[in-house]
Structure 1
């Protein structure tokens, strides 16, 4: 391998692989890469593999002396061997960071809110691409457990401690950026500006066979957000994916079945998610249904809540 891209460039490359529904395999053994100093030829080759990427390429080099001044590229030094499952080979010359390495690397470029949202995306069923495109119904590229195991193998790497802290709030199986934003707003602790509910289960299968009269396990419906040990669920009503008479009817039937199965279903629309006062009402409703009293000990909590809400909406590409 001659060149390893990283950071934002690696994120763009990984998103392209997912967006194009391409599979990959990461190395199973630790790697002590012997990377050559980058050249104009290898940078151009990597740019072509990344679909003509116009952004400056982030490139990993093994020694400070290997840094080169190249147009449209910048180098960062990493002299440590990479743990197992760190590299995805695009071809024999160019590699990408695996989802696990990428999650760690991006802590050098993003704030905590964006890093947590990235974790949801990597462990979820959607992928952002470009400024306004999102691909849905994709297999996850990794899992929170896989991220945790990787970070455990990288204890002395820069930003690892921060990545571990943020990983505590990452959940698997988010189906969309809006589900991610809703889950983060509801579950992040008060010090982050969230409503401090427990981490939710996303797209949890709920057996409603007893309601529909089918054999046990034969009729399963999924709820967007739910919480272990409760019968409280949150459904996000997206104007993009919940429009049209057939979809509206299907969603209404699913909600009715969940309610008949004993679940309290709270609906959240896109307009509600965009208004902090509306989300306050949702938070109060969930507190009442869960029997959870909000004990806020952060003096500037209202300010932090507004900042988190604004930051999450800014992440909507």
Structure 2
């Protein structure tokens, strides 16, 4: 669509494919998660924006990419969609998906994709303890009843915001869930993050596969590719 003499815009799904040819797979995944998520990364001097309507959906991206044929970037875009989904509410949630779920050969830990921002109803006991009817979980693996939450300064809104207080944690544990919390400092420190990832792998009943001699170099390359993103302090 032409909006002025020398300015044209295209639909988000086509833009997603066009960007794929000029960046890494990891950054393409982050683009996809943002397009299907409810936040927008900083542009110019604008801060990160939260609680906005998704630009598109995973289904729309996948459908368009499947029909894109030989459009330049379509192959990488389809590869990136293996790690994309709806529901990310912050840049860090998207970063954690990449770090945890990218395959070992690309420097990740090879975890299965989680459900993002899953809402679970509170039990009566949990309602009494927290005065909340339900909880939203940043990353959730249903089969393992495992919740991973990022403790940062990102805003999630009054009704569904992440609370780091002990009563919420205790309520989730009381409901039978395991809860792992991650801070910005944990993410920045590769040794701390590796220890947390191995703890999560145990809870997911996964055998840690990152044992190849060159995996550390691939992990460092992946981290350096995506961690220049602004990470809010805890």
TM-score by length of 2: 0.86
Note if 1:172 corresponds to 2:86: yes
SS at the partner of 1:223?
strand
- Counterpart in the other structure of 1:72: none
> How far does residue 307 in structure 1 lie from its aligned partner after superposition?
1.1
Determine helix, strand or coil for the equivalent of 1:202. Answer: strand
Shift of residue 231, structure 1, vs aligned partner: 0.6
Indicate how the Cα distance of structure 1 residues 131 and 295 shifts in structure 2: closer, same or farther if over 3 A, else same.
same
Aligned match of 1:285: 199
Q: Which runs of 5+ in 2 are unaligned?
A: none
Structure 1 residue 316 displacement after superposition: 3.2
Task: Indicate the SS of the match to 2:220.
Answer: helix
Q: Residues 253 and 270 (structure 1 numbering): CA distance in 2 closer, same or farther, change over 3 Å?
A: same
Residues 58-207 of structure 1: pairs in structure 2 closer than 5 A: 95-131=8-44, 133-207=47-121
Partner Cα separation in structure 2 for residue 251 and residue 149 of structure 1: 41
The Cα offsets for residues 239-282 of structure 1, whole Å up to 9 and x where unpaired, read as 4549xxxx896643332221111110000001111111011111
Which structure's CA Rg is the greater one? 1
What is the CA distance between 1:171 and its match in structure 2?
2.1
The answer to whether the aligner puts 1:42 opposite 2:8 as a matched pair is no
Distance 1:241 1:129, change over 3 A: closer
Unmatched 5+ residue regions in structure 1? 5-40, 47-94
CA drift of 1:108 comes to 2.2
Choose from 211, 214, 223 the match for 1:309. Answer: 223
Match among 185, 193, 201 for residue 271 of structure 1:
185
C-alpha distance in 1 between matches for 2:66 and 2:223: 31
How far, CA to CA, are the matches of 1:261 and 1:176 in structure 2? 26
Task: Tell me the TM-score normalized by structure 1.
Answer: 0.65
Q: Residue 21 of structure 2 contacts residue 76 of structure 2 at CA under 8 Å; is this kept in 1?
A: no
Would the alpha carbon gap of residues 248 and 109 (structure 1) be closer, same or farther in structure 2, given more than 3 Å must change? closer
Instruction: Quote the Cα distance in structure 2 between the aligned partners of 1:161 and 1:228.
Output: 31
Where relative contact order (Cα < 8 A, 6+ residues apart) is larger, the structure is 2
8 Å CA contact 2:50–2:155 kept in 1: the answer is: no
Provide the C-alpha distance between the structure 2 equivalents of 1:101 and 1:211, rounded to a whole number of angstroms.
48
Q: Mean alpha-carbon deviation: is it higher for 153-162 or for 191-200?
A: 153-162
